Amino acid sequence: MRETLLNWLPEDLSGRRVLDAGCGTGAFAIEAARRGAEVVAIDLSTTLTGLARNRLPVIQPPGRVEFVVGDMLDPAFGEFDHVVAMDSLIHYRTPDMVGALDGLAARTTRSILFTFAPRTPLLTVMHTVGRLFPRGNRAPGIVPVGENAIERKLAASSSMTDWRPSRTKRVITGFYMSQALELVRT
């Protein structure tokens, strides 16, 4: 999936400001910075951003990465050319996902790449069965989302009128299944 999203960005990212929204341990952020981007990599997790900082290799200018603990939806982080939310919206229900994309779109000039858990029959069954068990300390569950539902809601959003879906790709590897969607500003 990371490779797919990186391929959907220009090869030379010099001069581009990129938000790695929900960066985890920062693998995407590092690759984008190696291609010249100025990356702001944000995650709610202090542990993950701490790991990311510790593992950060030397990056040649103009590329650079700043790892920040915070809310990727906070407008205080400013404007970006590209926003990438790899598997960081998969726990959001469709209206919340679209609300998050709305907010990000208002401060993005070129493209937003995000992934969602596609609503396939298998994933829907797994999700339904999973809900029968007590949550305990489990991580938040993923929420399967229909591609058509997202696209319809995005098209209906008054703040997304100058955005359109461009590419989509489903990636399935072992137990991993996620679908990427590219939104571009027209």
Ligand X SMILES: C[S@@+](CC[C@H](N)C(=O)[O-])C[C@H]1O[C@@H](n2cnc3c(N)ncnc32)[C@H](O)[C@@H]1O
> Using the rule CB under 6 A, is 86 a contact of ligand X?
yes
By C-beta, is 117 or 183 nearer to ligand X? 117
> Using the rule CB under 6 A, is 118 a contact of ligand X?
no
CB of 21 to ligand X, least distance (A): 7
**Cβ contact 1:27 at 8 Å:** no
> Using the rule CB under 6 A, is 31 a contact of ligand X?
no
CB of 178 to ligand X, least distance (A): 9
> Using the rule CB under 6 A, is 49 a contact of ligand X?
no
φ/ψ bin of 136: left (φ > 0), alpha (ψ from -120 to 50), beta (otherwise):
left
CA distances from 177 to 22, 119, 172 (A): 18, 10, 4
φ, ψ for residue 124, nearest 5 deg: -65, -45
> Using the rule CB under 6 A, is 72 a contact of ligand X?
yes
By C-beta, is 3 or 15 nearer to ligand X? 3
> Using the rule CB under 6 A, is 104 a contact of ligand X?
no
> Using the rule CB under 6 A, is 83 a contact of ligand X?
no
By C-beta, is 77 or 163 nearer to ligand X? 77
Distance from C-alpha of 40 to C-alpha of 185, rounded to nearest angstrom: 20
Which of these, 68, 84, 74, lies nearest to 17 by C-alpha position? 84
Reduce the DSSP state of residue 59 to 3 states and report it.
Answer: coil
Interacting residues with ligand X (CB under 6 A): 22-24, 27, 42-45, 48, 71-73, 86-88
